[in-house]
C-alpha cells in the first residue's frame, strides 16, 4: 500500500532562490540525473535553450561518430572521443578567435574617415562619459 504523499525534507520546495543568479522565487528545474534545482524565468529560459542546443549537438555527433565507426572502426582503434572532442573544441575556438580578429581588422581598415560633424559628435560623447568615469576612478582610488 502506498503512503500518502507528504513533504519530507528530501522533497524540494516548488520555489526557492535561483541556483544561477540567486534571484528569489525561482521555480524547480529538473535535469536528470542531477538533483532538481531552482531557476528564475531568465535562467530557466537560457537553460532550456542550452539543453536544446546540447541535445541537437549530441544527435549530430552520434550520427557522425556512427558513420565514422562504420568506415574506420575495424582498422583504427577507437580514439578517446572525449580527448578528440576537446581538441576539436580548442581548434574551433582558435579559428573563431582568428576569424573575429580578421573581421575587426577589416572593419577598422575599411571604415571611412570621420567628417567634422562626426568628430564633434565623438568628442561630445567622450566628454559626456569622461567626467563620471573620472569621478568613479577618484572614488575608487580614495578607498584603496
Ligand atoms: Zn536566475
Q: Is residue 59 part of a domain?
A: yes
Instruction: Quote the pLDDT of residue 43.
Output: 96
Higher-pLDDT residue of 143, 66 = 66
Q: What is the mean pLDDT of residues 32-44?
A: 92
Ion ligand 1 contact residues with beta carbon within 5 A? 18, 20-21, 23, 40, 43
Distance of CA 91 from the midpoint of ligand 1 (Å)? 31
Please check whether residue 107 lies inside any domain of the structure.
Answer: yes
Q: Does residue 118 form part of some domain?
A: no
In a domain, 5, yes or no: no
Is residue 137, in this structure, part of any structural domain at all? no
Distance 32 CA to ligand 1 centre (A): 19
pTM of the model: 0.53
Strand partners, 16: 26
Judge whether residue 118 has pLDDT over 70: yes
Q: What's the CA-to-centroid distance between 12 and ligand 1, angstroms?
A: 17
Q: What is the residue-wise DSSP string for 72-91?
A: HTTTSPPP-HHHHHHHHHHH
Specify whether the CB–CB gap between 17 and 23 falls below 8 A: yes
At residue 2 the predicted structure's pLDDT band, cuts being 50, 70 and 90, is: very low
Query: CA 85 to CA 79: how far, in whole Å?
Result: 10
Of the candidates 9, 11, 50, 7, the one whose C-alpha atom is nearest the C-alpha of residue 31 is 50
- Going from the Cα of 22 to the center of ligand 1, the distance in angstroms, rounded, reads 6
Q: Is residue 76 part of a domain?
A: yes
* Domains: count for the chain: 1
Residue 25 gets the label, from left (phi > 0), alpha (psi -120 to 50) or beta, of left
What is the rounded average pLDDT for all residues in the chain?
Answer: 85
Q: What CA–CA distance (Å, rounded) separates 43 from 61?
A: 26
For residue 132, being part of any structural domain is answered with no
Q: What is the pLDDT of residues 90-105, one digit of tens each?
A: 999 999 999 999 988 8
Query: Which is it for strands 37-39 and 15-16: parallel, antiparallel or unpaired?
Result: unpaired
Domain that holds residue 99: 15-113
Reading the block at residue 136, the C-alpha cell is: 568613479
d(CA 29, CA 40): 9
Domain assignment present for 48: yes
Amino acid at each position: 500500500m502506498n503512503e500518502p504523499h507528504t513533504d519530507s525534507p528530501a522533497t524540494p520546495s516548488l520555489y526557492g532562490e535561483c541556483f544561477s543568479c540567486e534571484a528569489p522565487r525561482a521555480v524547480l528545474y529538473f535535469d536528470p540525473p542531477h538533483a532538481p534545482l531552482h531557476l528564475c524565468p531568465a535562467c530557466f529560459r537560457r537553460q532550456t535553450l542550452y539543453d536544446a542546443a546540447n541535445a541537437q549537438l549530441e544527435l549530430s555527433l552520434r550520427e557522425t561518430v556512427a558513420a565514422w565507426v562504420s568506415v574506420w572502426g575495424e582498422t583504427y582503434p577507437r580514439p578517446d572521443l572525449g580527448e578528440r572532442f576537446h581538441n576539436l573544441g580548442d581548434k574551433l575556438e582558435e579559428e573563431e578567435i582568428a576569424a573575429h580578429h580578421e573581421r575587426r581588422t577589416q572593419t577598422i581598415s575599411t571604415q571611412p574617415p570621420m567628417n567634422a560633424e562626426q568628430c564633434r559628435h565623438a568628442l561630445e560623447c567622450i566628454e559626456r562619459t569622461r567626467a563620471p568615469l573620472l569621478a568613479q576612478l577618484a572614488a575608487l582610488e580614495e578607498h584603496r
